[in-house]
Structure 1
Amino acid sequence: MRVERERGVGPVITAFSGGGFKVEAGEFIGVYRALRIWPDGSEEWAPPPIETLTIEALGPLLAIEPRPEFLLLGTGATMQRPPPSFVRACEALGIGVEAMDSRAAARAWAVLRGETRWVVGALYPL
Structure 2
Amino acid sequence: MRLTEISFGQARPIDGYGPGFFRIGGEVLHGAVLVTAGGARIWGGFDETAPLLALEGEVDVLLLGTGASIAHPPADLRAALEARGIGVEPMASPAAARTYNVLLSEGRRIAAALLPVG
TM-score, normalising length from structure 1?
A: 0.77
Report the counterpart of residue 10 of structure 1 in structure 2. 11
Report the counterpart of residue 4 of structure 1 in structure 2. none
Structure 1's 116 and 32: CA in aligned 2 closer, same or farther, altered over 3 A? farther
Deviation at 1:70, TM superposition (A): 1.0
Question: Which deviates more, 12-21 or 36-45?
Answer: 12-21
1:46-65 equivalence runs, <5 A: 46-47=44-45, 53=46, 57-64=48-55
Instruction: Write the deviation string for residues 17-76 of structure 1: whole angstroms up to 9, x where unpaired.
Output: 33321111xxx52333211111101011222xxxxx36xx13334424743101100000
Distance (whole Å) between structure 2 residues aligned to residue 116 and residue 104 of structure 1: 19
Structure 1's 38 and 101: CA in aligned 2 closer, same or farther, altered over 3 A? same
Gaps of 5+ in 2: 1-7
1:85 to 76, 83, 106: 76
Give the 3-state SS of the residue equivalent to 1:121 in structure 2. Answer: strand
Whether the 8 Å contact between 1:112 and 1:119 is mirrored in structure 2 is yes
TM-score, normalising length from structure 2?
A: 0.81
Structure 1's 35 and 12: CA in aligned 2 closer, same or farther, altered over 3 A? same
Matched, 1:20 2:18: no
Name the count of aligned residue pairs. Answer: 110
Q: Higher relative CO (CA 8 A, sep ≥ 6), structure 1 or 2?
A: 2
Which 4+ runs in 1 deviate beyond 6 A?
none
Report the counterpart of residue 39 of structure 1 in structure 2. 37
Whether the 8 Å contact between 2:21 and 2:28 is mirrored in structure 1 is no
Gaps of 5+ in 1: 1-6, 48-52
Whether the 8 Å contact between 2:56 and 2:86 is mirrored in structure 1 is no
Deviation at 1:9, TM superposition (A): 5.4
Give the 3-state SS of the residue equivalent to 2:88 in structure 1. Answer: strand
Distance (whole Å) between structure 2 residues aligned to residue 65 and residue 79 of structure 1: 24
